Amino acid sequence: MANFCKSCGSELKGPLEAYDAFEGMHWLCFHYAFEHYSDDPDVPCQSRHCPTWHIEILKEALIARGEDPDKIINDAIELSWSKSLEAKQSNGVSSFLQKGLSKVFK
C-alpha cells in the first residue's frame, strides 16, 4: 500500500520507518514544516541539514572559485534535458513530438 505525504500529497517512496519518523511526510516537507527556523523557506536556517543552506554555501563556494553558479545550473539543466530527449527518442517518442520538444528546449 502506498503512503502519501501529509504535507504535499505526493507518494513517499522511501522506507516506512522514515514515513513514521517524519510524521507521515517527506523529510523535506517535515524540515520546512517543523525544523526550518525561518518564516521564508528561501532563507536558510541554521540547521546543517537545511537544503536551502546547502544551496547557499554551494553558490558561495562556486563564486569564491570564480565560477558563475547560474551558468553552471543552466548548463546542467541543458545537459539533463538533452539526455532526457535522447532517452525519449530511443523509447519511440513520435518524431512530431521530438521536433516540438527540441524547438522548445533549445
- Per-residue pLDDT tens over the stretch 68-100: 999 999 999 999 988 887 777 776 655 555 555
Structure-block grid coordinates of residue 76 = 546542467
Q: What's the pTM value of the predicted model, to 2 decimals?
A: 0.63
Q: Is there a contact between 26 and 19 (Cβ–Cβ < 8 Å)?
A: no
pLDDT digits (tens, 9 = 90+) for 5-31: 999 999 988 888 888 889 999 999 999
Q: Is there a contact between 26 and 12 (Cβ–Cβ < 8 Å)?
A: yes
- Output the pLDDT for position 54: 94
